[in-house]
Amino acid sequence: MTRQDLTRANETLLIVDDSPENLRFLAQTLQERGYRVRCVKSGAMALRSVKALQPDLILLDIRMPEMDGYTVCQQLKADPALQAIPVVFLSALDEALDKVKAFAVGGADFITKPFQVEELLVRIAHQLTIRQLQRQMSGQNQQLQQEIRHRGQVETQLRQVTARLSILIEHLQVGVVLEDPARQVVIVNQPYCDLLRLARSPGSLIGTDGRAMTQHSDPLWVQPEAFSQRMAEILTAEQSVVAEEITLTDGRTLERDYIPIIGDYGVEGHLWQYRDITARKQTERILRQNSQALNRFSQSLKQLHRLNLSQFDNFEALFEDYLATGCAVLGFSAGVVGRVEGSNYLIKAAHAPGLGLEANTICKLEDTLCLRAITNQTTISLTDIGAIPELQNHVAYRRLKLGSYLGTPIVVNAKFMAASAFLTPPLDRRGLSSTKKKLSN
């Protein structure tokens, strides 16, 4: 989806979040895309704002003091004048998101933090498009019912509506199928055929039975019978379904939405939407893995800090074990331990093959990256050092061409006496994977 596709200059979004940082980020991102943005910090303020001037969509944080997002959404959906406004929940990746409750109270979708900008924009545009489709379908259906006695006019208008919807749906970057009440295909787009591996053009599927069309994709369903049964349940319930995940036999993961098109005489159509979220699921899995790895890394550092000098015969033996343990635990290829002596840094022990760092080497403290750890009085870590502008001319980088670095101050009797450092050359990616992180001792 292009940037132009994601820009909705005439639509207003209301952001509800008690975090000023989140409000600033979302407001700036969305305003840059041409959206009109209003921001509030609490559920009570959100309700007052919506009643005063209705937005086109609400981005609603779940975890807020006094009134959480579920309660705010419930009150909005209880008001007939406000219930049509789509609500997209905001939830941190590590928070327990109750999807059943989110959809039960009327949520249309959810977005996890930290925000992925392209996903954020696509989901917002997606919900706004759905609302536009619902408005158009509802308006056209009312008009068709009023003119039912004039079948010729009704059919002409229906063809016009279908043509307009076809244009809208064809520009969506998701698979879309619109069926009539008898499940005959009215509209289907190319992304749907691509996602479900249908070797037919969208035009050739118009007028076919929706059930038969779905059965052509049976090889993709892990349990075809269960898939068909679930579709029957959705149709019987006549309730919207949002973000239902489907695992395919080819390893992909799809996300399905269903919207019943409701008119004066009941269900007048079925709108199905499918999205490939395989990449998003992989990203979420990587984020969880990285979070777990960072936690293990932090625990390992704490173990290293608890090394007891009395267990070793001398200072050098202590830090020889420190370096060997640190390189093994942290995945670095080299390490040094040195004593701070005024403005100098004396290397007491080193495990740095090929880097020219040896015990009893003296260098200026300002020429080392350890100065940062000692100055900040905390462990620091850096990756892809060559890409950090302020370090490109640093003496340590110019001489050693470091790829990643971890520095930790060593405290003796409440005084910073020494510092350890673990490092890797540029092509060694076994170190930390983040761009730059600061870890507490």
pLDDT in tens, 17-33: 999 999 999 999 999 99
Please give the CATH superfamily to which domain 10-115 belongs: Response regulator (3.40.50.2300)
Query: Residue 312: is its pLDDT beyond 50?
Result: yes
pLDDT band at 262 (very low <50, low <70, confident <90, very high): confident
* Range 320-339 average pLDDT: 79
pLDDT band at 75 (very low <50, low <70, confident <90, very high): very high
The CATH number given to 283-439 is 3.30.450.40
Write out the residue limits of the CATH 3.30.450.40 domain(s) in the chain.
283-439
Predicted TM-score (pTM) above 0.75? no
- The more confident residue out of 401 and 247 is 247
* Range 413-427 average pLDDT: 74
- The more confident residue out of 331 and 62 is 62
H/E run at residue 282: helix 278-305
**% of the chain surpassing 90 pLDDT:** 36
* Range 274-299 average pLDDT: 84
- For 208-239, give the secondary structure using H, E and C: CEHHHHHHCCHHHECCHHHHHHHHHHHHHHCC
**CA 417 to centroid of chain Cα atoms:** 43
* Range 167-174 average pLDDT: 66
pLDDT band at 96 (very low <50, low <70, confident <90, very high): low
CA 194 – CA 318 distance, rounded (Å): 62
- The more confident residue out of 258 and 147 is 258
Mean pLDDT of all residues in the chain?
82
**% of the chain surpassing 70 pLDDT:** 83
DSSP 8-state symbol, 115? P
Lowest mean pLDDT of 34-38, 52-56, 170-174, 434-438, name the range.
434-438
Query: Residue 123: is its pLDDT beyond 80?
Result: yes
pLDDT at 165: 62
- The more confident residue out of 402 and 160 is 402
What is the crossing angle of helices 43-52 and 69-78, to 10°?
A: 30
- The more confident residue out of 427 and 191 is 191
pLDDT band at 9 (very low <50, low <70, confident <90, very high): low
Query: Residue 428: is its pLDDT beyond 70?
Result: no
Query: Residue 363: is its pLDDT beyond 50?
Result: yes
pLDDT band at 205 (very low <50, low <70, confident <90, very high): very high
Architecture of domain 129-276: 2-Layer Sandwich (3.30)
Lowest mean pLDDT of 22-31, 84-93, 268-277, name the range.
84-93
Question: Are residues 202 and 193 in contact, defined by beta-carbon separation less than 8 angstroms?
Answer: yes
- The more confident residue out of 255 and 391 is 255
pLDDT at 24: 94
pLDDT at 437: 37
* Range 301-325 average pLDDT: 64
DSSP 8-state symbol, 48? H
Q: Order the strands of the 362-364 sheet from edge to edge.
A: 362-364, 344-351, 334-341, 415-424, 404-412, 379-383, 436-439
**Residue keyed to tokens 């509802």:** 138
Handedness of CA 298, 302, 305, 311 (dihedral sign): negative
Write out the residue limits of the CATH 3.40.50.2300 domain(s) in the chain.
10-115
406-415 tens-digit pLDDT: 888 887 777 7
* Range 124-144 average pLDDT: 85
pLDDT band at 74 (very low <50, low <70, confident <90, very high): very high
* Range 204-214 average pLDDT: 91
pLDDT at 35: 93
pLDDT at 289: 86
The most confident of 71-85, 124-138, 336-350, by mean pLDDT: 71-85
pLDDT at 235: 93
| Assigned token pair, 25 | 């980020």
Write out the residue limits of the CATH 3.30.450.20 domain(s) in the chain.
129-276
104-122 tens-digit pLDDT: 899 999 888 888 999 999 9
